[in-house]
Amino acid sequence: MANLRAIGVDPGLAKTGYGVIEIVDKRGVVRAWDCLSTNPKDSTPQRLQTIFLDLKKILQKWDVQLLILEDVFVLPRFPKAALQLGAVRGIVALAAAYNNLEVMELKPTEIKAALTGNGRAHKNQVSKAVQKILGIKETITSEHASDALALALVGLSRAHAVHW
């Protein structure tokens, strides 16, 4: 049987970040990270289809067993953003169901607290913690990919598969 692999997904209509971490000897090893981008000129249904098809390929390529999805955080003054995020989250959940994956949802404050000790930490603090814990030498230039790796790391910790 393959080692446990998890994917963290930071959903967004323009950019959906993902990060794949595999457990090897009780340590997290990064296998991939990037962003799935959609064309803003495309209709929302076309953009959702792009995310679904691209994510489906990634899930199959890496044979992940667990998907960790960021819980929705939207400011009340941006209701359209909440609807878009909900649609993307639905597509991510559909891709997970299509691949028979367990889905774990984590709040941004949980991630920040687990990695930095501060539930209100800035994104750069979280990114630095992720790089340090996973031994990533290069800078993770996409906040979405960094957040996705953070999700995968904390999700695996919650599943008692990895400790740092």
pTM for this one? 0.94
Q: For the domain covering 5-158, report its CATH number.
A: 3.30.420.10
**pLDDT digits over 9-49, tens only?**
999 999 999 999 999 988 899 999 999 999 999 999 999 99
**Does 70 participate in catalysis according to the annotation?**
yes
**Does 102 participate in catalysis according to the annotation?**
no
Q: How far is residue 15 CA from its own chain's centroid? A: 11
Query: Which of 10, 63, 110, 122 is an active site residue?
Result: 10
Query: Which of 144, 147, 160, 163 is an active site residue?
Result: 144
With tokens 């709040």, the residue in question is 107
Query: Which of 25, 34, 54, 70 is an active site residue?
Result: 70
Query: Hey, where are the domains in the chain?
Result: 5-158
